[in-house]
Amino acid sequence: MSKTFNKAPPPIFFARTATGNTDGNVSCVVLCVAAHIGVAQLRDVVYIVCRRSSIILRFNVTTHQRLTDIGVKDLRKPWDIVACEQTSQLYVADWWKCVWRVSADGADIKLWWTKSSTDTFTPWSLSVTSTRLLVTSYDTKQLMQLDSLGVELRRVQLPDDMKPEHAVESPTTTFIVSHTNTPLKQHQISEVNVDGQVLRQFTGSRLSIGWTPRVAIDSHGNVFVADHRNRRILLLDAQLRLRRLIIDEHQLNNKQPLRLCYREPTGQLLVGFDDKKVAVFDVLCQ
């Protein structure tokens, strides 16, 4: 018999509303969720997965109304969630085992990719670009790209010195990878091609960066970086050069960012924190 995990929806409430005016940061709404681990937005609905829960929480980002939860039977250890605008589908990484595809209303749920007995690939984090799902493997130092039908398009073998956390596809179909350089014990953001060759890197320039658990990208190639240790969000250009500090530690209330989700049509950046809160920032990125 399979083990039953917590199926009760964790508590959620809106904590405060704040305003600011630093480099495009217009406003922020903060909500509290018990043990959240992943956040995604599809049009006006935000989706949140929580540790050891088979439930996907939903709420309206405009009205703050709690919507009907989505239950995913057999979802064991959700670790990340992303949303595809073109297909209106959600993808959930089930820690190291499989990836689920879930329709926006929860009516259609499929086991989208599952690890075979001989495969060493371990799903860790997700991103989606133009219906293509990009899955980062933590242990095997690989990226796997799937199309909208779940067909594997490619696997990218990353350099041996990379310990990846997260990756996104760039507008030029390369990959932006957040990782640790293990020999140097340094956190870096690197651009790699489909062969895994490093094209360029950001190592902090005049800023030293700490652990970067998530990155997000827009259609121009601008990259948002969650700098966990230093409690800030950085904005890099398409050449991985620092543009500016877009959200500082004061605007984050001195909290450490853990998850990012950027929705370009509305300019909203969702930031998940270690203390089980999710902030919705209105960001103007030009």
pLDDT of residue 279: 85
Percent of the chain at pLDDT above 90? 66
Domains of the chain, residue spans: 20-283
CA distances from 176 to 111, 180, 227 (A): 27, 13, 15
Closest CA to 251 of 221, 273, 223, 222: 273
User: Is residue 94 classed exposed, middle or buried when 0-12, 13-18 and 19+ CB atoms within 10 A define those classes?
Assistant: buried
For strand 198-202 and strand 123-129, is the pairing parallel, antiparallel, or unpaired?
unpaired
* Helix and strand element counts for the chain (H, E): 0, 25
> Cα–Cα–Cα angle for 230, 233, 239, nearest 5°?
115
Task: Kindly state the tokens that stand for 165.
Answer: 């956390």
Burial 228-244 (b: 16+ CB within 10 A, else e): bebbbbbbbebebebee
Most confident stretch, 43-52, 155-164, 207-216: 155-164
Which band of pLDDT confidence, cut at 50, 70 and 90, is reported for residue 201?
Answer: very high
Q: At residue 200, does pLDDT exceed 60?
A: yes
Closest CA to 254 of 279, 282, 232, 270: 232
CA gap 105, 151 in Å, rounded: 23
Residues 6 or more apart whose Cβ sits within 8 Å of residue 90: 40, 42, 47, 56, 81, 82, 83, 84, 101, 102, 103, 104
Task: Kindly state the tokens that stand for 15.
Answer: 């904590």
Question: Are the C-beta atoms of 126 and 81 separated by less than 8 Å?
Answer: yes
Which band of pLDDT confidence, cut at 50, 70 and 90, is reported for residue 235?
Answer: very high
Q: Is 149 or 64 the better-scoring residue by pLDDT?
A: 149
Phi/psi at 256 (nearest 5 deg)?
-95, 120
Task: Kindly state the tokens that stand for 121.
Answer: 């690939």
Question: Are the C-beta atoms of 96 and 84 separated by less than 8 Å?
Answer: no
Percent of the chain at pLDDT above 70? 85
pLDDT of residue 237: 96
155: enclosing H helix or E strand: strand 152-157
* DSSP bridge partners of 27: 19
Average pLDDT, the chain: 86
- The single-letter DSSP state of residue 203 is S
* DSSP bridge partners of 253: none
Question: Rg for the chain (alpha carbons), in Å?
Answer: 18
Question: Are the C-beta atoms of 214 and 177 separated by less than 8 Å?
Answer: no
Q: Is 8 or 134 the better-scoring residue by pLDDT?
A: 134
Q: Does domain 20-283 bear CATH number 2.120.10.30?
A: yes
pLDDT tens readout for residues 56-80: 999 888 887 889 999 999 999 999 9
